[in-house]
Chains A and B, each alone.
Chain A
């Protein structure tokens, strides 16, 4: 049973481009959480999704950021018109149920905006 898979592991984008980060949850998991981690800081909750539904996006910036978790395929975190401040590690976690005590994290995608 493969763990949570995130790709790409590293992503470099120029300012103004779009970044697409993908997260394939563990088999059997239908809950996905996205977090952002800045250097020397803890993780910050961004969004919680279940299949085809956004449950809570209160941690996500109102503009340029969006997330989806379609019925088929991975969850996608999309950042449009990236700026330097978007440079960070983005982690995805998945769980079978609704509790964080059961969530497993992926290896993260490190986004660098140049």
Chain B
């Protein structure tokens, strides 16, 4: 079993829709949960991160962590064509805070 599972997609939705992207993880010791956006042929760009359970909002993006079920989500409201990219979740704990464990990434396509 992979430490972090993420559906590769692609996920195709119309412009303006609410997008839900998800990852599951296996190690309950993980503490930090991060979401990156990666455009084609570019490096990952950190969108937001959360520590422990709960929600965190930043503009149109909301990150949610449910540690009891080892499930993390990224919601995008009012999706735009410019949001089309691959979204990767990454997780780590402070015992090894430079060894990010990455999901495979979900390719998101927003249709105008």
Contacts of A35 in B (CB 8 A): 100
Residue of A nearest to B100 (CB): A100
Chain A: residues with Cβ within 8 Å of the partner, total of 29
| CB-contact partner of B43 in A56, A100, A108, under 8 A | A108
Contacts of A59 in B (CB 8 A): 99
**Interface of B, helix, strand, loop or mixed by DSSP:** loop
Contacts of B42 in A (CB 8 A): 107-108
Rounded to whole angstroms, the CA-CA distance of A9 and B62 in the bound complex is 33
Q: B97–A100 contact, CB under 8 A?
A: yes
Q: A42–B43 contact, CB under 8 A?
A: no
Residue of B nearest to A3 (CB): B43
Contacts of B46 in A (CB 8 A): 101, 103-104
Contacts of B49 in A (CB 8 A): 101
Q: A98-B97, A100-B98, A101-B49 are in contact. Are A40 and B43 (CB under 8 A)?
A: no
Residue of B nearest to A43 (CB): B102
Residue of A nearest to B98 (CB): A48
Q: B32–A42 contact, CB under 8 A?
A: no
Rounded to whole angstroms, the CA-CA distance of A70 and B104 in the bound complex is 32
Q: How far is the CB of A51 from chain B (nearest CB, A)?
A: 15
Q: B103–A100 contact, CB under 8 A?
A: no
Contacts of B88 in A (CB 8 A): 42-43
Decide yes or no whether A64 CB sits under 8 A from chain B.
no
Decide yes or no whether B78 CB sits under 8 A from chain A.
no
By a beta-carbon cutoff of 8 Å, the part of chain A in contact with chain B is 4, 6, 31, 33, 35, 40-45, 48, 55-56, 58-59, 91, 93, 98-101, 103-108, 110
By a beta-carbon cutoff of 8 Å, the part of chain B in contact with chain A is 4, 6, 8, 32, 34, 41-46, 49, 88, 90, 92, 96-100, 102-105
